[in-house]
Amino acid sequence: MTHDELARSLADHLRAPDRMVWCDMQLGASGSPRPDVYTMAKSYAHPHSIAYECKVTVSDFLSDITSGKWQSYLKYANGVYFASEIGLFDKDVVPSHCGLILYNGTRWRTAKRAVLNPVTIPQSAWLKLLIDGVEREGPRYRVRSWSESTCLQDIKQKFGETVAKVIRDHVAMENEIEYARTRAEQIVGAAQQRAQQIQADAVNHLGPLRAELCSVLELDAGAQRWEIETAVRKLRSSLTQHPDTTRLIRLTRSLQASLDRDGYKDIDGQG
């Protein structure tokens, strides 16, 4: 594996939604350090910038150790890692403050963790990352995002306007169907929420009344509907058949008859 291939493989391994990765990015003006891979977390409080040096030969590794090249990265990074294929050199020869990450042909693993130190990244490095790094962030071979308009234009040139129009109409129809499906899901979701709210309101308002009714009917608070209906029918029947009720009806009719004989109208008539 070449040096550039190793660096690209490491960049792919390190890349994540919460971390930015640069390959061969110079950290400032001319003459400033240029780590093979440089990463930074997307965090205001703890960006944790790390510099990586990829090594494919022992001589290159020993040259960096002797010259102390890795120490120049500490001005721009919280820690420094050496990266190589497994078996090139042992972690015991790595400087005490540096880490080591190894590639076994299929995946990367950390063999030794670096010591992380606080660092205030110079303004020149921030400007470099802002001006030049935004476009270069990520691997150089990053695939371009799919463009619908570009694809339709290519189809038009190769197959003509009729084919391009059919595909364009098909894509538009799919978009409309997807919009309708999304809108329907939103309407159903809102209806379900409304139904749940109505049910909750009914429980909150009718619950105490139901408990009071069960108490009057001498039923348990958790009585079923049929039990309540049966108790109400029994109560209504007992009231209708009670002797006092019959006596009250006869007395009312007798009083009304007396009033009629004396020339009085009932309460709904004229006096």
Of 103, 136, 169, which residue constitutes the final position of a domain? 136
In tens, the pLDDT along 71-93 reads 999 999 999 999 999 999 989 99
Q: Is residue 259 part of a domain?
A: no
Q: Is residue 142 part of a domain?
A: no
Of 107, 136, 165, which residue constitutes the final position of a domain? 136
Q: Is residue 51 part of a domain?
A: yes
Residue 24 — pLDDT band, cuts 50, 70, 90?
A: confident
Q: Which domain holds residue 170?
A: 148-216
Q: Is residue 271 part of a domain?
A: no
**Which CATH number is 66's domain given?**
3.40.1350
Contact 259, 251 (CB under 8 A): no
Question: In the chain, how many domains are there?
Answer: 3
Q: Is residue 141 part of a domain?
A: no
Residues 207 and 230 grouped into a single domain: no
Rounded CA separation 125/78 (Å)? 14
Q: What is the pTM of this model?
A: 0.50
Q: Is residue 261 part of a domain?
A: no
Of 66, 101, 136, which residue constitutes the final position of a domain? 136
Residues 17 and 117 grouped into a single domain: yes
* Greater model confidence, 215 or 131: 215
Q: Number of helices and strands (H, E) in the chain?
A: 8, 6
Residues 72 and 168 grouped into a single domain: no
Residue 262 — pLDDT band, cuts 50, 70, 90?
A: low
Residues 100 and 164 grouped into a single domain: no
Whole-angstrom Cα Rg for the chain: 42
Residues 153 and 239 grouped into a single domain: no
Residues 58 and 170 grouped into a single domain: no
Which range, 21-25, 109-113, 205-209, 227-231, is most confident? Answer: 109-113
Tell me which amino acid residue 246 is: T
Taking the alpha carbons at both ends of the chain, their separation in whole angstroms is 117
Residues 10 and 79 grouped into a single domain: yes
